[in-house]
Amino acid sequence: MKKTERLFVLMDALRRHRRPVTAANLATETGVSVRTIYRDIDALVRLGAPIDGEAGLGYMLRGGFFLPPLAFDREELDALVLGARWVLKRTDESMARAAANALAKIAAATEDDRRDEIAGSANWIASIPELGDSDLMETVRASIYAEKRLAIDYVDADGVSTSRTIWPIAIAYFDQRRLVVAWCELREAFRQFRPDRIEAATPTGRRYPTRRAALIKDWAAETGHTPPE
């Protein structure tokens, strides 16, 4: 592997990690020696890449750094198109618009105009019936981003309606269903709520008392699930 190609591969590896990653782990991911990682990190820093860290502790790429023009190989582009198309078909209107805009930006940011290539991708997502909860999902996402409580009227599997205040922390997307993961003040426990059973959702404007990252960690420990990286 040529040095220039190696540096791009290393940058991609650093982008995948939100926390410091050791040279040993980077070497395993990129298929080179630890000594080569140290040399390439030094080379990237000299070129202006904002990399924090040091040998023995780990390295992390600070946010806001880009290497235009972006270059994607065939499989990388297919993966991005497939993911965006899944969002277009399986989420609500707001997320679908965001996915379409993201695809347009990806096409514009590549070194060649690849809009025809993106449009002609062989990876398709089958259509499903509209779930019809676009406004609700926008409200839920806004509460998640702001880490604020949400007041809901909810009908359970037995048809019993309750008014609850929840601390939404995530949305799980399935092929034909979504689930809102939240701490429920009424039950004093983590619960999963089906959007089609939420009759009303009203933002309270009040932050919940625990940071979302800590709640996700507690939820994962309690349920045994591993949150996505």
Claim: this prediction has a pTM higher than 0.75: no
What per-residue confidence (pLDDT) applies to 70?
Answer: 56
107-133 burial, b for 16+ CB within 10 Å, e for fewer?
beebeeebeebbeebeeebeeeeebeb
Q: What is the pLDDT of residues 206-217, one digit of tens each?
A: 999 999 999 999
- Asked if pLDDT for residue 67 goes beyond 60, the answer is no
Residue bearing the bigger pLDDT, 44 or 202: 202
Domains identified in the chain and CATH numbers? 3-61 (1.10.10.10), 74-119 (no CATH), 134-223 (2.30.30.100)
Phi, psi of 168 (to 5 degrees): -70, 135
- Asked if pLDDT for residue 185 goes beyond 80, the answer is yes
- Asked if pLDDT for residue 104 goes beyond 80, the answer is no
Which of 59, 51, 64, 68 is closest to 23 using CA atoms? 59
**Taking residues 136-161, what's their average pLDDT?**
95
CB 82 within 8 A of CB 125: yes
What per-residue confidence (pLDDT) applies to 170?
Answer: 94
Which of 71, 67, 80, 86 is closest to 118 using CA atoms? 80
Residue bearing the bigger pLDDT, 48 or 205: 205
